Structure 1
Amino acid sequence: MSEIPEVIREQVITELYRQADELNWELLSASEKKRQYQKWIEDSRVGGILREFFDDHRMGTWIKDTPMKEYARAQEGFGSTAKYARSRFPGPDVLIGQALGPGWIVVPNSVDDKPMHCLATIGESTRYVCWGRPNTFRDLIWAALNKAITMSERPLVIVTEQDGISVSANERATQAAIAEHCGLDLTHIHRRLLRV
């Protein structure tokens, strides 16, 4: 298997992310995504270019496990493929302002991922804040619990919603009960992607 030259890699990922934006990738079901991987293999702008480097099976694996695995992180402005994202969520400073109010700022160099998180501060108070889509709730709770044992301020979990991805009233109530039981603060914030 040949190494993909950077210029080819850039061309293909740019095209994948362009199409993913048009498809509302994060709203697709697993079966819809599987069908789209096959379409990309057959697409002259993707598979036609990659065929020099991969057979169909390896091509599908590369598309899924390299650029598309990073797509959600890229929309957060994170990871090696972020520079190819055509749309991104507003940065952590905007999210912290929405969640905690005016005056709270992101501690420099504290933003990281898996899950997305940072430290936020105002005056003498510093809080751990993590955020992600509803399907990452369990990971968010676990990350916040791990910080709760070492910090004096209660961690904050932000469940991020967007058009097409929301939390039902029943699910919100369950999430709130879990967060309260764990000694964590919880909020839900609707975000919109911005063109970059």
Structure 2
Amino acid sequence: MIEELYRQADELDWELLSTTEKKLQYRKWIEDPRVGGVLRRFLDDHRIGTWIKDTPMKEYARAQDGFGSMAQYARSRFRGPEHLISRALGDAWTVVPNSVDEKPMHCLATDGEAERYVCWGRPKTFRDLAWAALNQAVAMPSRPLVIVTLQDGLVVSDAERRRQTSIAEHCRIEIKYIHRQLQRG
């Protein structure tokens, strides 16, 4: 059933839907025999909608990055942190083994001499990314890096980019914007 939710979410480009469009889709899923029909044996319609929103769909974006308990159900994924680090810092940089973690998604990167804290996420998570990087900035000698990940249909306005860049510069945090494409499975 979660596979079906994620399959449909992929087809809908879930992360690009408006709040209103998502609310309408939750109603459709409650009525869908492959989703709500399965859950109706255990929950009433209100609880079905709440469960869908708060469990699999809350984890959907993280699952596409290979994180969380629902990652096994994601059919489309982004390439891993190694690819992101290489694009952001260059081919000389790699992910420090066993340093990848989540909330926000982050790792340590090294060029063999220095280590840097790197965190990444969608534009709407910038506040969390900046806070995580700022906390690392006081604990590490190297400047942390925030990567704002973009994808087709998900962009940052020029005004928002200027604001985010200004905040990052003020806090001595490097910021980069990297476009990623989902690898459909």
- Tell me the TM-score range normalised by the shorter chain: over 0.9
**Within the alignment, does 1:97 sit opposite 2:52 as a pair?**
no
Q: Extract structure 1 runs of 4+ deviating beyond 4 A.
A: none
Using the alignment, how far apart are the partners of 1:61 and 1:171 within structure 2? 32
State the partner residue of 1:130.
119
What is the CA distance between 1:19 and its match in structure 2?
A: 0.2
**Secondary structure class of the residue paired with 1:174:** helix
What is the CA distance between 1:95 and its match in structure 2?
A: 0.1
What is the CA distance between 1:101 and its match in structure 2?
A: 0.3
Using the alignment, how far apart are the partners of 1:104 and 1:192 within structure 2? 21
Match of 2:48 among 34, 52, 59: 59
State the partner residue of 1:3.
none
Match of 1:146 among 113, 116, 135: 135
**Within the alignment, does 1:25 sit opposite 2:5 as a pair?**
no
What is the CA distance between 1:31 and its match in structure 2?
A: 1.2
Using the alignment, how far apart are the partners of 1:47 and 1:91 within structure 2? 32
Aligned length: 185
Q: Structure 2: 5+ residue runs without aligned partners?
A: none
Match of 1:84 among 73, 82, 93: 73
Using the alignment, how far apart are the partners of 2:22 and 2:57 within structure 1? 10
State the partner residue of 1:119.
108
Length-normalised TM-score, structure 2: 0.98
| More deviation, 171-180/79-88 | 171-180
Deviation per CA, 1:156-183, whole angstroms, max 9, x where unpaired? Answer: 0000000011112222122111111001
Length-normalised TM-score, structure 1: 0.93
Percent identity reads 72
**Secondary structure class of the residue paired with 1:33:** helix
| More deviation, 146-155/163-172 | 163-172
Using the alignment, how far apart are the partners of 1:83 and 1:139 within structure 2? 25
Using the alignment, how far apart are the partners of 1:176 and 1:41 within structure 2? 41
Match of 1:43 among 32, 49, 58: 32
